[in-house]
Amino acid sequence: MKLDISSIKGSELEGKKILLCITGSVSSMESPRIARELIKHGADVIPVLSRSASKLIGSQLLHWATGNEVITSLTGKMEHVQLANGGNNSVDLILIAPCTSNTIGKIAQGISDDSISTICTVALGSDVPIVIASGMHEPMYDNPILQNNISLLQKHGVTFVSPLIENNKAKMANFDDIFNEILSKLFTQDLANTNILITTGPTIEKIDPVRIITNNSSGKTGLALANEAKKRGANVTLIYGDGRESPPTSIRTIRVSTSQQLLDITIDELSNHNYDFYIASAAPSDFRILDPSTEKISSREKNFLNIQLEAYPKIINSVKKISPTTKLIAFKALFDSDSTNVSKSISEIFNDSRADYVIVNDVSRKDAGFASDYNELTMFTSDHDSVNFPYNTKKKLSKSIFDHIVKNLT
């Protein structure tokens, strides 16, 4: 069952099914929150409670938290085989959070005497990834037998999220650390240690305190690119204009309103941080109002309103001047343009900005572009060689864009 909180913090885990196994640690009190956070990033979470964990938190709470039935024991339905065999109905990943020393020992030694250890036995034989976040007292964690069991499981591909050592306790890791390990197991980390600055959304220019000039951009393309880069391991900063979409909370986001603010923040970020890529998918206003009114203009007093506009400097033209080694991917929105106009437009961008790629989309289409979840894009090189990304969702187009970038620019 899809919950109303699904993907409200990001779409990195959309389409992914995660089995959340909960063992009898006091840290199990945090497990419903972990489940909800995973769902907020798009995952479908199926909870499994050990007998000991059932005494600490009830199955009804986990059912509410996930929208799925809670597995407390294995039945004739063969849940361990169905969910962990790596087949079409299998989960994509098993997360044990928290995991006790007892459960780690069972899994390491191949003991399958309860639901969680049996599920993991099948998963290890089916190459279904397992992530373990332990929670226990520090002396138990330091036990050399436990450490040997952890090392043994690591050799077999199990990922352990390091606990937080505080007050003689090895507390379960925080959600962000668990989340990052999940991403690294589910997705190729081909952008690890890569710093990416992405601009997205429209900007506004005030006519008076009430009226503005803006455009129809939603920022959906840039948000999709940010999510895709994040799940591939990149360090992403998002500069987001006056769009109505909610940016992912797991990504550092700077909100701006005007094109001048977008320019100022771009200069500041490029001057003070080392970015490998700058992706200019924002739709900033090309003009600013020279003399905006400080008071609301009365329509009763004026039948006509003359507004004087001045062109803004092109933001992308500053990127290479400030940071010559940063790879620049520029976007260009065209309206029903023929091939001659397209060629002229991209030539100007390459000449003026020294962009590495220019991505073009036709915003005259009613079934794509502004505010839509779909688009069709063409990526050009400075030699005017092109790659067409056919009509698809912006999420899938973002994956195709980064597949191409990783192959050719990293």
CATH number of the structural domain spanning residue 365:
3.40.50.10300
Instruction: Give the per-residue pLDDT at 220.
Output: 93
Higher pLDDT, 335 or 29: 29
Statement to judge: residues 257 and 235 lie in one domain = yes
Side chain identity, residue 138: E
Q: What's the average model confidence in pLDDT over 362-384?
A: 85
Statement to judge: residues 78 and 223 lie in one domain = no
Q: CA-to-CA distance for 10 and 1, rounded, in angstroms? A: 18
Q: Is residue 8 part of a domain?
A: no
Q: What's the average model confidence in pLDDT over 239-245?
A: 92
Which residue, of 151, 186, 221, is where some domain finishes?
186
Q: What's the average model confidence in pLDDT over 61-83?
A: 94
The Cα angle at residue 168 between residues 167 and 171, in degrees rounded to 5: 80
Percent above pLDDT 70 for the chain: 99
Query: Is the pTM of the predicted complex or chain greater than 0.85?
Result: no
Give the confidence band of 371 by pLDDT, cuts at 50, 70, 90: confident
pLDDT exceeds cutoff 80 at 180: yes
Statement to judge: residues 167 and 215 lie in one domain = no
Q: CA-to-CA distance for 180 and 230, rounded, in angstroms? A: 9
Q: Is residue 2 part of a domain?
A: no
CATH number for the domain harbouring residue 124: 3.40.50.1950
Q: Is residue 201 part of a domain?
A: yes
Strands 309-311 and 287-289: antiparallel
Instruction: Give the per-residue pLDDT at 163.
Output: 93
Sole residue written with tokens 């059932």: 54
Which residue, of 162, 186, 210, is where some domain finishes?
186
Statement to judge: residues 285 and 179 lie in one domain = no
Statement to judge: residues 164 and 221 lie in one domain = no
Q: Is residue 10 part of a domain?
A: no
Give the confidence band of 33 by pLDDT, cuts at 50, 70, 90: very high
Statement to judge: residues 178 and 204 lie in one domain = no
Structure-token pair, residue 162: 């390091």
Statement to judge: residues 214 and 271 lie in one domain = yes
Averaged confidence pLDDT in the chain: 93
Statement to judge: residues 112 and 216 lie in one domain = no
Instruction: Give the per-residue pLDDT at 261.
Output: 96
Q: Is residue 145 part of a domain?
A: yes
Give the confidence band of 216 by pLDDT, cuts at 50, 70, 90: confident
pLDDT exceeds cutoff 70 at 249: yes
Sole residue written with tokens 């001045």: 310
Give the confidence band of 88 by pLDDT, cuts at 50, 70, 90: confident
pLDDT exceeds cutoff 90 at 190: yes
Instruction: Give the per-residue pLDDT at 1.
Output: 65
Instruction: Give the per-residue pLDDT at 299.
Output: 84
pLDDT digits (tens, 9 = 90+) for 296-326: 988 887 788 888 999 999 999 999 999 999 9
pLDDT digits (tens, 9 = 90+) for 272-296: 999 999 999 999 999 999 999 999 9
Q: What's the average model confidence in pLDDT over 121-141?
A: 96
Cβ atoms of residues 49 and 22 within 8 Å? yes
pLDDT exceeds cutoff 90 at 176: no
Number of domains in the chain: 2
The residue range of the domain holding 331 is: 195-292+304-409
Statement to judge: residues 221 and 279 lie in one domain = yes
Which residue, of 155, 186, 217, is where some domain finishes?
186
Q: CA-to-CA distance for 375 and 390, rounded, in angstroms? A: 8
Statement to judge: residues 172 and 259 lie in one domain = no
Statement to judge: residues 178 and 245 lie in one domain = no
Q: What's the average model confidence in pLDDT over 350-354?
A: 96
Highest mean pLDDT (candidates 7-11, 231-235, 236-240, 303-307): 236-240
Q: Which residues contact 300 (CB under 8 A, 6 or more apart)?
A: none
pLDDT exceeds cutoff 80 at 145: yes
Per-position DSSP letters for 247-298, written without gaps between them: PPTTSEEEE--SHHHHHHHHHHHHHHS--SEEEE--B--SEEESS--SSPPP
Statement to judge: residues 201 and 131 lie in one domain = no
Q: Which residues contact 247 (CB under 8 A, 6 or more apart)?
A: 223, 226, 238, 240, 253
pLDDT digits (tens, 9 = 90+) for 381-402: 988 889 999 999 998 999 999 9
Q: Is residue 5 part of a domain?
A: no
Give the confidence band of 139 by pLDDT, cuts at 50, 70, 90: very high
Instruction: Give the per-residue pLDDT at 330.
Output: 97
Structure-token pair, residue 247: 């940016």
Q: Is residue 164 part of a domain?
A: yes
pLDDT digits (tens, 9 = 90+) for 260-273: 999 999 999 999 99
Q: Is residue 7 part of a domain?
A: no
Instruction: Give the per-residue pLDDT at 170.
Output: 93
Instruction: Give the per-residue pLDDT at 370.
Output: 80
